[in-house]
Amino acid sequence: MSIDEIDTPALIVDLGAFDRNIAKMAGYVASAGIGLRAHAKTHKSSAVARRQMAAGAVGQCVQKVGEAEVLAAAGIPDILVSNQVVDPRKLDRLAALARGATIGICFDDLDQVSLASAAATKAGVTLNGFVEIEVGMARCGVAPGRPAAELARRIADAPGLRFEGLQAYHGRAQHLPTAAEREAAIHGAIGAVRDTQEALGTLGLEARTVSGAGTGTFRVEAESGVYTELQAGSYAFMDLDYAAIAGADGRPYDEFEHSLFVLSGVISVSGRDWFVVDAGLKSYSGEKGPPRVHRADGWTFLGMSDEHGKIGLSAGSARPKLGDKVALIPGHCDPTINLHDWYVGVRNGRVEEIWPIDARGASR
Amino acid sequence: MSIDEIDTPALIVDLGAFDRNIAKMAGYVASAGIGLRAHAKTHKSSAVARRQMAAGAVGQCVQKVGEAEVLAAAGIPDILVSNQVVDPRKLDRLAALARGATIGICFDDLDQVSLASAAATKAGVTLNGFVEIEVGMARCGVAPGRPAAELARRIADAPGLRFEGLQAYHGRAQHLPTAAEREAAIHGAIGAVRDTQEALGTLGLEARTVSGAGTGTFRVEAESGVYTELQAGSYAFMDLDYAAIAGADGRPYDEFEHSLFVLSGVISVSGRDWFVVDAGLKSYSGEKGPPRVHRADGWTFLGMSDEHGKIGLSAGSARPKLGDKVALIPGHCDPTINLHDWYVGVRNGRVEEIWPIDARGASR
C-alpha cells in the first residue's frame, strides 16, 4: 500500500529516519561505554521496545505499572518504573512482574519503602530500589546527599527490596533553549549524584546504577562518568519541542531526525486562503503548540480543533485537492503517540509495518 | 466501592451533576420547542448518548464516521456527521450505516456531492445532505446565500442524496468572553441562515433542518426562530474553558455544573511547598491550560508533564498524604475524555456505574 492509500488520520513512522535515530543512539552509547534504558512512556509499544533492545538497549523505563505489564508480557527482561508507586494494588501488580523480569522502582519517601517491601515480600520477589534525587526539576525526589543516602539505607534493609542505585533525571533541563544552559543544569545534577554517592559511601552503600538523561542532554550525562545509563525516549521520533532547542553550534537541534508524523487528509478547500485537514486534537496533543506541516511549501498551520486542522496558504503556494494527504510534525511526541492505537511504518512511500501501541492509555 | 478506592488516574462523572445538566438542557429545549442533537464528539460514549436520547434528544452529532459506527451499533437511530467526509472508503462505511439509521452528512464542495452520491447509490441508501455554511468560524463551509443554495440544489438532484438542511455551527462564538460578544456573533450566523433560506426559496428548496449551536450560545440559536436543533455537547460535563466565559450577568458562566473530573492519587510529598499526583498529559489534555484542583483549599495546580501533576501548597493549606485522592477539573473536556477507556460514575461518594468510552480514538 502506498502512503497515499493510508486511511487518515494516522500516526506514521518514517522507518528510514527511525532506523537512523535508533542506530545513532545505539552507536553513541556503545562508544561512550554507557547503557541505554530507553523510555517507553514515549513510544508505548512493545514493537518499538524490541527494536531498541535488539540495538543493544539494557532495558526500558516506564512511568506506570500498566506500561511495565505490557512490556513484561512482551518479554522485555529489565524494566525500571522511573516514578513513585504508592498504591498497594499497583505494587502487588508490579511485584508479580518481578517473577519473570528484573523490575526497578523509584522512592522518595519512607512510607513507599514499607509499602513496596510488603508487596515484594508477599509475592516472594525482590524489587530493585532506586532513590530518586531532586536534581533541579522540582517535582519528585529527595534532597541529594545525606537524605538520599538514608533512604537508600532503609531500602537496603527492607525485606524484598534491594538498593540498586539512583534516579537522577532532570526533565526541565531537556528543553532549556541553549546547549550552555542545558549543560549547566546537568552539571548541577551531576554534582547532586556525586554528593549522594559520597554520602552512600559513608553508610557502606554503593549505587551500582545511576539512571537519567533525556534526548536534549544525553551527551552531558554520558560524559559525566557518574551516570551508568540513559533514559532517552524522544530520540527515536523527535518532535517540534525538541526541534526548537538549539544545538551546541547554536543552530536548531539536529541530533535526530523527525521520524514521527500525523498523516492527515484534506476535507475542505472552501476557504479563500486556507484549507482544512481531518486531524485535530484527538490525533496530536496541542499543549506544546500546534503541529507543523512537513515539507510545507508555503503552508502554515493556523488552528487546531477537536477533529480539524486549519492550514493557511501563502501567496503563490499550491492549493491542495480534496483527499490529498498532508503530513504534520507533532509538537510533543509522547502524548501524541498515546492518542493512537498503532503506528504505520512507511519506507520509501510504501507501508511496510504496523506496530500496535499496546501500552496506549496504560496510565494506571 | 467508595471514590477513595478507585484506581487512579480515572475519569470520574459526578452523576448528580451530570443528571442535572442533562435534565436542564432537556427541559430547556422542550420549553423552547427546539430539538437537541447532542454532540458525541464530546462524550464518545453510547452510554451517554442513550441517556441523552432517553431525555428527549432527537439524535446525535458526530465528527467522524468511526463515531457514527459506534453509535449506530448501539442503536442510536438518527446521526449527523457534522463534518465533511471525502474518502470513498469512509463514505462506503457511512452509507452502510444508512441501512439501519437516519444518517446525515455535511457538504461544502461539489466534488463531495459526487463522491457521497456514488457511495449512497452503490449501497442502495439515501443520505441526508446538509449544506455547511460559513457563519464566521472561518473553517469549513460555503458562503451563505446563493452559493449555499446552489450546492443544496446539486445535493437535491444527486441520486442517493436528499437535501435536508443547513449546518450552521459557529464554533468560535462559543468561547468569546462576554455574552454580548457571543450574541453578536450568533446574530451574524442567524443572518447567514436567513439569507440562505431566502436563496433556497428562489431555487424551490427548503431547509427542513437547521442545525448548530454549542454550550456557550445555545439560547441565542434556540430563540432565533431559524434553528431547529442544537448541537451542544459540553453541557453534560462542563470544563474550565467554558467556566472561563462570562454569563449574561457578567459573572462566570454557570448554566451547567462541572460533572467531569480526573481523579488523581498523590504519589510524592517530598516537595517543600508542593506535592505530585499521578495524572498528567495522558489523563487530561493541556492545550487549553492546566486542570484546576476541585475544592482546592489553598492548592494550586502548578505544572503538568506526561504522567505527573504538580500542585502547590499555599501557606496554611493542608498537606496531603501519599495515596490521597485529588479531583481535577480538566481544561477541555472533549480531548480529555478521548484519553480514557471508561467513565466511573459516582454518586454520593460511591461508584454506581462504569460507562465504556466506546468511540475513544474513533477518528477515522
> Residue A298: what pLDDT?
92
Residues 131-170 of B with CB under 8 A from A: 134, 138-142
Picking from A142, A268, A303, the nearest residue to B84 by CB comes out as A268
CB contact (8 A) between residue B134 and residue A270: yes
CB contact (8 A) between residue B140 and residue A108: no
pLDDT tens, A150-200? 999 999 999 999 999 999 999 999 999 999 999 999 999 999 999 999 999
Residue of A nearest to B309 (CA): A139
What is the model's pTM? Answer: 0.98
Decide: B306 and A334 in contact? Cβ < 8 Å.
yes
Picking from B85, B111, B268, the nearest residue to A84 by CB comes out as B268
Cβ of B323: how many Cβ atoms within 10 Å? 16
Q: Is the pLDDT of residue A297 over 90?
A: no
pLDDT tens, A17-71? 999 999 999 999 999 999 999 999 999 999 999 999 999 999 999 999 999 999 9
The answer to whether A63 contacts chain B (CB < 8 Å) is yes
Decide: A66 and A261 in contact? Cβ < 8 Å.
no
DSSP string, A311-341: EEEPTTPPPPPTT-EEEEE-S-HHHHHTT-S
> How far, in Å, CA of A265 to CA of A277, rounded?
5
Q: Is the pLDDT of residue A333 over 90?
A: yes
> How far, in Å, CA of A87 to CA of A287, rounded?
29
A89 is written with which cell numbers?
Answer: 494494588
A183 is written with which cell numbers?
Answer: 549543560
User: Which of B175, B266, B287, B325 should be substituted to probe chain A, the one whose Cβ sees the most A Cβ atoms within 10 Å?
Assistant: B287
> Residue A296: what pLDDT?
81
> Residue B182: what pLDDT?
97
> Residue B334: what pLDDT?
98
> How far, in Å, CA of B197 to CA of A80, rounded?
63
Residues in chain B closer than 8 A to A150 (CB atoms)? none
- CATH 3.20.20.10 in chain A: give the residue spans: 15-243
**Mean of the per-residue pLDDT values of chain B:** 97
pLDDT tens, B270-293? 999 999 999 999 999 999 999 999
The answer to whether B178 contacts chain A (CB < 8 Å) is no
Residues in chain B closer than 8 A to A139 (CB atoms)? 268, 271, 276, 303, 305, 308, 310
> Residue A34: what pLDDT?
98
CB contact (8 A) between residue A363 and residue B279: yes
Residues in chain A closer than 8 A to B118 (CB atoms)? none
**CA-CA-CA-CA dihedral for A10, A13, A15, A16, to nearest 10:** 120
Half-sphere exposure of B34 (CA within 13 A, CB side): 27
Options 3.30.70.1290, 3.20.20.10, 3.30.300.30, 3.60.15.10; CATH of B15-243: 3.20.20.10
Q: Is the pLDDT of residue B204 over 90?
A: yes
Phi first, then psi: give them for residue A49, nearest 5 degrees: -55, -45
Decide: B352 and B346 in contact? Cβ < 8 Å.
yes
Q: What is the mean pLDDT of residues A226-230?
A: 98
Identify the CATH number of the domain defined by range B3-10+254-356. 2.40.37.20
A–B: how many Cβ contacts below 8 A? Answer: 170
> Residue A323: what pLDDT?
97
Q: Is the pLDDT of residue B296 over 90?
A: no
> Residue B62: what pLDDT?
98
pLDDT > 90: percent of chain A: 98
User: Which of A63, A139, A262 should be substituted to probe chain B, the one whose Cβ sees the most B Cβ atoms within 10 Å?
Assistant: A139
Closest-CA distance, B145 to chain A, in angstroms, reads: 15
Q: What is the mean pLDDT of residues A78-103?
A: 98
Decide: A8 and A327 in contact? Cβ < 8 Å.
no
pLDDT > 90: percent of chain B: 98
Q: Is the pLDDT of residue A147 over 90?
A: yes
Q: Is the pLDDT of residue B227 over 90?
A: yes
Q: Indicate the range of A95-99, A129-133, B249-253, B320-324 predicted with least confidence.
A: B249-253
User: What's the distance, CA A128 to chain centroid?
Assistant: 21
Angle at A298 between CA A295 and CA A301, to 5 degrees: 80
The answer to whether A309 contacts chain B (CB < 8 Å) is no
- CATH 2.40.37.20 in chain A: give the residue spans: 3-10+254-356
Picking from B7, B108, B278, the nearest residue to A270 by CB comes out as B108
pLDDT tens, B319-333? 999 999 999 999 999
Which of A234-264 are b and which e, b meaning 16 or more Cβ less than 10 Å from the residue's Cβ?
Answer: bbbbbbbbbeebbeeeeeebebbbbbbbbbb
The answer to whether A308 contacts chain B (CB < 8 Å) is yes
Q: What is the mean pLDDT of residues A314-337?
A: 96
B331 is written with which cell numbers?
Answer: 481544561
**pLDDT tier, B297 (very low <50, low <70, confident <90, very high otherwise):** confident
Structure ipTM: 0.97
Instruction: Find the distance separating the first CA and the last CA of chain A, reported in whole Å.
Output: 36
User: Which of B7, B41, B282 should be substituted to probe chain A, the one whose Cβ sees the most A Cβ atoms within 10 Å?
Assistant: B282
> How far, in Å, CA of B127 to CA of B164, rounded?
9
**Beta partners for B79?**
B60, B103
**pLDDT tier, B312 (very low <50, low <70, confident <90, very high otherwise):** very high
Closest-CA distance, B31 to chain A, in angstroms, reads: 31
**pLDDT tier, B201 (very low <50, low <70, confident <90, very high otherwise):** very high
Instruction: Find the distance separating the first CA and the last CA of chain B, reported in whole Å.
Output: 36
> Residue B257: what pLDDT?
98
Burial category of A146 from C-beta neighbours within 10 Å (exposed 0-12, middle 13-18, buried 19 and up): middle
